[in-house]
Amino acid sequence: PAIDGYNENVAGSEVLKFDAAKAKELWAKADAISPWPADKTLQLAYNTDGGNKEWIDAVANYFKNNLGIKAEGQPFAKFAEILKLRTAKELPGLTRAGWQADYPSLYNFLGPLLKTDASANYEGYSNPEFDSLAKTYLAASELAAQRKATKRMAGILLRDTPVVTNYFIN
C-alpha cells in the first residue's frame, strides 16, 4: 500500500483471505494428485540473524494445525547460506525471502523477482502473459498504462501463486 499504484481490488485477491476449510479442501486435491508422505516434515528455511524464527514457527504451526502436515523451521546462520542452496536448486523445502525495491514502483517488486530469467527469479517462474505485461510496463510512458500493467501482472501471480507473500513493511 505504500507504493503509488497499489490497488487492493486486483482480480483474484480473494485468495488472500484466510479460509482454513478451503485450504484443507485444496490440500486434499493436491494430495490426491501427488501424495505428501505422512512421515515427511516440511522444512521452512530461515536465517537466524534476521529475527525470523517467531513468524516461521507460526507458519509451521499453520501447516500443522490447518492441514495436518508436519512442519518445522530449518535454521541457517546467514541468509547467504539459504540463497546459495536456492540458487543451486538444492533447498529441501520452502524458504523465506525478502525484497526491497530500488525504486518506488510496483514493477520493482514484480519484474526482478518473477519475470522469466530475471536476476532474482531463483525458482524459475515463467509465464508468457506476465512477461508480455512486463514489456508493456517498461515501454509505457504514461503512469496509467504502467499501473494497468502491474495490476494485471499481480492478478496473474494471484492465479499462478509462484510465491506466497505474507506481509510488507512500510
pTM to 2 decimal places: 0.85
Reported confidence tier of residue 166, pLDDT bands at 50, 70, 90: low
- Across the chain, mean pLDDT equals 90
Dump pLDDT digits (tens) for 53-72: 999 999 999 999 999 999 99
Which pLDDT value is given to residue 167?
57
- Taking residues 74-88, what's their average pLDDT? 94
Name which of 109, 114, 85, 84 is nearest 98 in CA terms. 109
Residue 143 has pLDDT above 70, yes or no: yes
